[in-house]
Amino acid sequence: MYKVLVSDNIAQKGIEVLENAGMKVDFNPNLNREEFLEIIADYDGIIVRSMTKLDKEALTKAKKLKVIGRAGTGYDNIDLEEATKNGIFVFNTPTGNTISAVEHTLGMMLSLSRNISQANQALHNDIWDRKKYMGVEIKGKTLGIIGLGRIGSRVAKRAQSFGMKVIANDPYLSPKKAEKINVPLLPFKEVLKKSDYVTLHTPLTDETYHILSHKEFAIMKPGARVINCARGQNVDTKALAEALEKNKIAGAAIDVHEEEPVKASNNPLLKFEDSVIMTCHLGGTTTEAMDNVSITAAEEVISVLKNNLPESPLNIPAMDPQDFNQAKPYINLITKLGNFVAKWKGHERIEAVEIEYGGEVNQYNLKPMTLSLVKSILEPNLDDRINLVNAMHVAKEREISIKESQIQNEGELKNIIKINLKTEMNEYSLAGTYLPIGFRLIEINGLRIDLDLSGEFIIVSYQDKPGVIGKIGSTLGEANINIANMQVGRKKIGGNAIMMMQIDSKPSKDIMEKIKTHLDELDTKVKDLSYLEI
Ligand SMILES: NC(=O)C1=CN([C@@H]2O[C@H](COP(=O)(O)OP(=O)(O)OC[C@H]3O[C@@H](n4cnc5c(N)ncnc54)[C@H](O)[C@@H]3O)[C@@H](O)[C@H]2O)C=CC1
Ligand SMILES: O=C(O)CCC(=O)C(=O)O
């Protein structure tokens, strides 16, 4: 039974989904760091929001962990690189709380403009002051959006409907997409200079850390207002406090904070009672969003533990589930080719792998196929955990070069995958195709063949000589091993030859030895004699 730790507050519905799937769930959002580090080694899966830090220290202890589900959008609390090295799938649920964050942003902007929060606070303290809490309209003002993604673009649409002029900065967004929603993309500084309101909707990255600091506040329009419902570290809190102090910035609405939870001792914004409104990281906290992210995270954890790929992976290439289902036969084909070549090359150290994709297969995202191949060829010789997440990392660590290319379709075949594998001693090549009747091996070391890509095989590379087929056939016959199919090829008479046999049962070590002895007696310079079961 898989064990899943839920270490942040998520909606009960997700926990029920996990339990109904037979998982043992520990819902424990109140662990301190020491307690958390003590127990993390016990779990196969974990669901977190933004409070649990899954850094290198935690992930090093998480020896059994296979999947990290982020019930929410931002994943700056998770060390993706370390998770990838350790072969841990990481996913988020990025659409579940988008609307929540959008509506919170709009709420913050309106509240900031109309002093709703301050006036409410005053009334609760028995103060009626209509003059002090006079507001400003947002209609006709310019809203500058930094980060025009899921949340930013929806904030734009709603702000436009309020009659605001919306401009944005997003270096990673195609101008066409921005054009579609009628938002001009401008350089960062220009957005700052032109905006009456600046709202942040970027993830927290090295680039966006303190994206608003002294320099930026200095170039902003005097009297501008700032809204941050993205991540606390996007804004340099001390610099914002200074800008407010100097009245350069008229006000700020802040949902996310450099240090959470906020305390009077760690946040200089708390003293700006009249110009700063703050919420306790509530952007994604609505009943609807909490249900969405909790249920999706639970379903995805179950799916990954059942060996499926998550829908919003953060450390493997994302693939549309429909595309994934259609590409599955090719993923299975390449995995079979990988198993085949891995067994064929035995214990030889791999130096390079080249993959050529031809025909229909090129309609799909090739990355999951390449990852499946790398996993299948490295798996048999590694004790370490290897999966699609860390396959490339392990290959790189072992200095194995991986190249993929697309080729023209060959002859009648609708699809083909070719693999060339170079070890320290030999080169191996093979090709396969997927047909409705199954997976076919169609080429081996340059020899055209046509064999079902499953079952038991004997492969012999030797120097062409009369008598070889007879010797092997009679040795297998004597051992009561039936040859189901056999193909032989050579470049020229007496040259390098290869024989591929599909057999109905496994030959013992003695039989393989006997075949070797007979071939040596014929002086056929055997380069390779292998038995493989696929
Ligand atoms: N307050 C809360 O409770 C919530 C906060 N969030 C935060 O909001 C962030 C954004 O969420 P989504 O819109 O769903 O993500 P998204 O990935 O759809 O959009 C982010 C946008 O930021 C842009 N971007 C990245 N680096 C940039 C840079 N240096 N300058 C300008 N733009 C840049 C990206 O190109 C992208 O278009 C999340 O990463 C999360 O940190 C999300 C949900 C709730
Ligand atoms: O998950 C959370 O703690 C709040 C929502 C959020 O910040 C996010 O989804 O990025």
Domain residue spans of the chain:
3-96+288-305, 98-278, 316-453, 455-534
What is d(CA 237, CA 256) in angstroms, rounded to the nearest whole number? 11
Residue with tokens 């009456």: 196
Length of the chain: 534
What is d(CA 304, CA 2) in angstroms, rounded to the nearest whole number? 11
Asked if the peptide bond before residue 261 counts as cis, ω within 30 degrees of 0, the response is yes
What is d(CA 48, CA 68) in angstroms, rounded to the nearest whole number? 8
How close is the Cα of 271 to the center of ligand 1, in Å? 28
Asked if the peptide bond before residue 268 counts as cis, ω within 30 degrees of 0, the response is no
Atom of ligand 2 nearest to the CA of 8: 3
Ligand 1 contact via 257 beta carbon (within 6 Å)? no
Chain mean pLDDT for the chain: 94
Atom of ligand 2 nearest to the CA of 50: 3
Ligand 2 contact via 96 beta carbon (within 6 Å)? no
- Among protein residues, the one with the nearest Cα to ligand 1's atom 14 is 150
ipTM of the complex as predicted: 0.99
Rounded average pLDDT over 485-493: 85
User: What's 98-278's CATH class?
Assistant: alpha beta
Atom of ligand 1 nearest to the CA of 151: 13
Ligand 2 contact via 73 beta carbon (within 6 Å)? yes
Half-sphere exposure of residue 15: CA atoms within 13 angstroms, side-chain side: 14
Overall fold of domain 3-96+288-305 = Rossmann fold (3.40.50)
Q: Where are the alpha helices (DSSP H) in 256-366?
A: 287-305, 321-345
Phi and psi at residue 285, in whole multiples of 5°? -100, 85
Rounded average pLDDT over 347-356: 95
Q: What whole-number percentage of the chain has pLDDT above 90? A: 82
What is d(CA 402, CA 355) in angstroms, rounded to the nearest whole number? 8
Of residues 411 and 355, more confidence is placed in 355
Same fold: 3-96+288-305 with 98-278: yes
What is d(CA 450, CA 477) in angstroms, rounded to the nearest whole number? 23
What is d(CA 138, CA 225) in angstroms, rounded to the nearest whole number? 11
Residue with tokens 């609708």: 414
Nearest Cα neighbor of 34 from 58, 67, 10, 55 is 58
The H-or-E segment that residue 350 falls in is strand 350-359
Of the listed ligands, the closest to the CA of 216 is 1
Rounded average pLDDT over 309-324: 82
How close is the Cα of 209 to the center of ligand 1, in Å? 12
Atom of ligand 2 nearest to the CA of 70: 1
How close is the Cα of 162 to the center of ligand 1, in Å? 22
How close is the Cα of 196 to the center of ligand 2, in Å? 27
Nearest Cα neighbor of 18 from 304, 433, 219 is 304
141 in Cβ contact with 165 (< 8 Å): yes
Please compute Rg for the chain using Cα positions: 31
SS3 127: coil
Of the listed ligands, the closest to the CA of 48 is 2
**pLDDT for the residue numbered 383:** 61
Ligand 2 contact via 97 beta carbon (within 6 Å)? yes
**pLDDT for the residue numbered 80:** 95
Ligand 2 contact via 69 beta carbon (within 6 Å)? no
SS3 240: helix
367 in Cβ contact with 317 (< 8 Å): yes
Rounded average pLDDT over 326-348: 93
Ligand 2 contact via 284 beta carbon (within 6 Å)? yes
Atom of ligand 1 nearest to the CA of 285: 3
**pLDDT for the residue numbered 448:** 87
Half-sphere exposure of residue 75: CA atoms within 13 angstroms, side-chain side: 20
SS3 239: helix
Q: Where are the alpha helices (DSSP H) in 448-528?
A: 468-478, 509-521
**pLDDT for the residue numbered 213:** 98
Atom of ligand 2 nearest to the CA of 94: 9
**pLDDT for the residue numbered 355:** 98
What is d(CA 184, CA 137) in angstroms, rounded to the nearest whole number? 22
Structure tokens at 331: 């993923």
Ligand 1 contact via 94 beta carbon (within 6 Å)? yes
Q: What is the DSSP string of 319-341?
A: --HHHHHHHHHHHHHHHHHHHHH
Rounded average pLDDT over 91-103: 97
- Among protein residues, the one with the nearest Cα to ligand 1's atom 40 is 74
Under the banding of pLDDT at 50, 70 and 90, the label for residue 326 is confident
SS3 309: coil
Residue with tokens 């199919």: 485
SS3 131: coil
Pick the CATH number of 455-534 from 3.30.70.260, 3.30.70.3340, 3.40.50.2300, 2.60.120.260: 3.30.70.260
Nearest Cα neighbor of 403 from 419, 391, 417 is 419
SS3 56: helix
Contacts of 140 (CB under 8 A, 6+ apart): 163, 164, 165
Say whether pLDDT at 321 is over 90. Answer: no
CA-based torsion, 17, 19, 24, 28: positive or negative: positive
Phi and psi at residue 30, in whole multiples of 5°? -110, 15
Maximal C-alpha separation, the chain: 108
Rounded average pLDDT over 509-521: 90
Ligand 1 contact via 173 beta carbon (within 6 Å)? yes
Q: Is the CATH number 1.10.3720.10 carried by domain 316-453?
A: no
How close is the Cα of 114 to the center of ligand 1, in Å? 26
What is d(CA 534, CA 333) in angstroms, rounded to the nearest whole number? 12
Rounded average pLDDT over 155-170: 98
**pLDDT for the residue numbered 410:** 65
Under the banding of pLDDT at 50, 70 and 90, the label for residue 62 is very high
The H-or-E segment that residue 431 falls in is strand 427-435
**pLDDT for the residue numbered 325:** 79
pTM score, whole prediction: 0.84
Choice from 51, 97, 294 to test ligand 2 binding pocket (greatest atom count within 8 A of CB) = 97
**pLDDT for the residue numbered 309:** 84
How close is the Cα of 66 to the center of ligand 1, in Å? 26
Alpha carbon separation from 425 to 42, 350, 353, 524 (Å, rounded) = 42, 9, 14, 19
The tens digit of pLDDT for each residue in 124-137 reads 999 999 999 999 99
Atom of ligand 2 nearest to the CA of 284: 5
Rounded average pLDDT over 178-188: 97
Say whether pLDDT at 159 is over 90. Answer: yes
- Catalytic positions: 231, 260, 281
Phi-psi region of 87 (alpha: psi -120 to 50; beta: other; left: phi over 0): left
- Residues β-bridged to residue 142: 165
Q: Which of 5-14, 387-396, 484-493 has the lowest mean pLDDT?
A: 484-493
Ligand 1 contact via 231 beta carbon (within 6 Å)? yes
b/e string for 231-255 if b means 16 or more Cβ within 10 A? bbbbbbbebbbebbeeebbbbbbbb
Of the listed ligands, the closest to the CA of 200 is 1
**pLDDT for the residue numbered 491:** 74
Ligand 2 contact via 201 beta carbon (within 6 Å)? no
How close is the Cα of 332 to the center of ligand 2, in Å? 37
How close is the Cα of 201 to the center of ligand 1, in Å? 4
How close is the Cα of 77 to the center of ligand 2, in Å? 10
What is d(CA 337, CA 355) in angstroms, rounded to the nearest whole number? 11
534 in Cβ contact with 340 (< 8 Å): yes
Ligand 1 contact via 144 beta carbon (within 6 Å)? no
- Helix and strand counts by DSSP (H, E) for the chain: 17, 21
